[in-house]
Every structure is written in structure tokens, then in C-alpha cells.
Amino acid sequence: MTEQPTLPNPKNEHIKIYVNGKVLPREEAKISVFDSVVQGGDAVWEGLRLYDGKIFMLDAHLQRLMNSAKVLAYENVPSADFIKKALRETLAANDMQDDVHMRLTLTRGKKVTSGMNPKWNQYGCTLIIIPEWKAPIYRNKGLKLITSSIRRNNPQFLDSKIHHNNLLNNILAKIEANYAGVDGAVMLDMNGFLSETNSTNIFLVKAGKLYTPFADSCLPGITRNLIAEKAKSIGITCIEKNLSMTEMYTADEMFTTGTEGEIAPVFEVDGRLIGKGEIGEISQQVQKLHLQLVEELGEKI
């Protein structure tokens, strides 16, 4: 008998997963080998977080999912209401309220034959919801990063504004981070400016101001956009600009943003301590702001 692999959280052994209208135990939740996500990584996705029975910024996530599906010319895309109902059913079946992350994937669907041509997709989209127990763990941890040799996709090749499942670009960067024994990798754009990490957006703090890279090569993260917009409500200016590695190494503070990891302080990049190598004042203020926004902007499901 093969040994059972260790799960990051053993509670996730018994989760139930939604696939096209059915909520099934994880081992029974399956999609076709003819699905376009298997054939060509042809899918779009969102990561959602559930706080106290409410999904944070749900409409913004569904809007981004719809936009990604539109750019990729998906047909028979389920409506936002349909997806909300599916989320409700999935969370109810799992009796989940808090400390939950959901991966929502929409593929172009099953094909009548293998290949890349969307003409072979004649069954409509496939909708998958994987809800897992994942408490936020990065609030105080302090990340160590490296800078990857892999550049983040530029719109000339594959626009990072599409939140798609062609993740090899990010996975190659993460492999470099794994070999270096750190938490993640900063990815640069084609001109050598900071773009984002392999899975989160980046903010630097310098002389009391926030700086974040232009959203030209990075995913314009929902958390990134919200923090950039709301920082002024706590008296902090946020500036979007091209940022170099030198500006990163000499920043007073640095943190990453994302739905899953929230506001995560960065203590070290490429062996250089960022600031004092501990969570800074502004990062703490932004974390507080984020938790306040979580309370205000969650949708009861």
C-alpha cells in the first residue's frame, strides 16, 4: 500500500469539493482528462478568503474571473449568482465559517478530442471550488525572499492581468526560492524593475510613504488595489512607480499583499535585511487597516 502523503493541515483530509454541480469528498472530486485545463492549462481562477461567514471582496473577485474568461473567449460562462450559490452549497456541505481559503477555478471545459483548439470545447465551462482550512499565518512571520532569474510576463507575451492557470512562470520562480531555502521569489519585469513575487504583490515603505510597482507586468491584486486606494484614509500616501532592486534593498520596510497571505512583512531579500529586519510601524498600520476592511467588505454567503 502506498504511504499517505502528509497534508499541510490534516483537517483538509475530509473536505468536500464542488465540481460542476456536485459536492464530493476530495478523493471522488474529478474532472475529465479531456478538460482544457489538463490539455493546455486553459483555465482562470480566483483565491477567496472566508472570514466569519463572509467572503472578502467577493464581487471584485468574480468580476476579475469574468474579465479573465471574457479575454480568453470562454463560452457558456456561469453567472456571478450561479457561482455564489455554488460557493454557498460548498461551504454549507463543509460546515465552514472562518480560517478558510477557497480556490475557485473555471476551465474552458471538456473537449470532444484532445488538442488546444477551443472549437473542441462543446460542453460548457467546468467550475471547481476547493475549500480548505487555511488560517492566515503570515501576519507576524516575516518572509525571506530571493530575486528570481525568471521575469514576470509582460503584455507583449501573456498579459498578467488575465488571472489564468498558465502558472509555470511563477512556478519556476518558486522552484528557485525552494532551492534557496526561502519563502518566495521577487520577480522583475522585462526592464529589470520589481513586478511582484511569484504569488503576491509588493509594497515598499520609504520615509513614511508606500510605493508599489505599476501594474504592467504583475497581477493587479485586489488586496494591492484596495490598500493603495485606502492608505490615504490612515494618512499614508501611496505611489505607483518603477522600483529597482536597489530601492528594495534600501527600503525602510517591505510587505507583500494577497488574499491568501493578507499583509505579510518581508524581513530579508537576497541576504539583505530590509530596514531592521522586523515588522515596521507602517506595515503594522496597514495590517490594521486591512483587518478593518475585512470586517467592512465581506459578503455574507
Q: Using the rule CB under 6 A, is 142 a contact of ligand PLP?
A: no
Q: Using the rule CB under 6 A, is 223 a contact of ligand PLP?
A: yes
Contact flags string 149-188 toward ligand PLP, x per CB under 6 A: ---------------------x------------------
Minimum CB separation from ligand PLP for residue 127, in Å?
Answer: 18
H/E element, 184: strand 184-188
Minimum CB separation from ligand PLP for residue 264, in Å?
Answer: 11
Total residues at interface with ligand PLP (CB under 6 A): 14
d(CA 224, CA 219): 9
**Based on CB atoms, which residue is closest to ligand PLP, 212 or 257?**
257
SS3 state at 49: strand
Choice from 40, 78, 109, 258 touching ligand PLP (CB under 6 A)? 258
For the segment 69-128, give every residue that binds ligand PLP (CB under 6 A). none
**From residue 109, how far is each of 40, 122, 125, 251, 262 by CA, in Å?**
11, 8, 4, 45, 31
**Residues 6 or more apart in contact with residue 51 via CB below 8 angstroms:** 98, 294, 295, 298
**From residue 167, how far is each of 157, 219, 234, 296 by CA, in Å?**
14, 12, 35, 32
User: Which range of residues in 31-39, 86-94, 215-223, 230-238 is near ligand PLP by CB under 6 A?
Assistant: 215-223
**Residues 6 or more apart in contact with residue 189 via CB below 8 angstroms:** 151, 152, 154, 195, 213, 216, 217, 218
Choice from 40, 109, 213, 221 touching ligand PLP (CB under 6 A)? 221
Residue ranges binding ligand PLP (CB under 6 A): 47, 170, 196, 199-201, 219, 221-224, 257-259
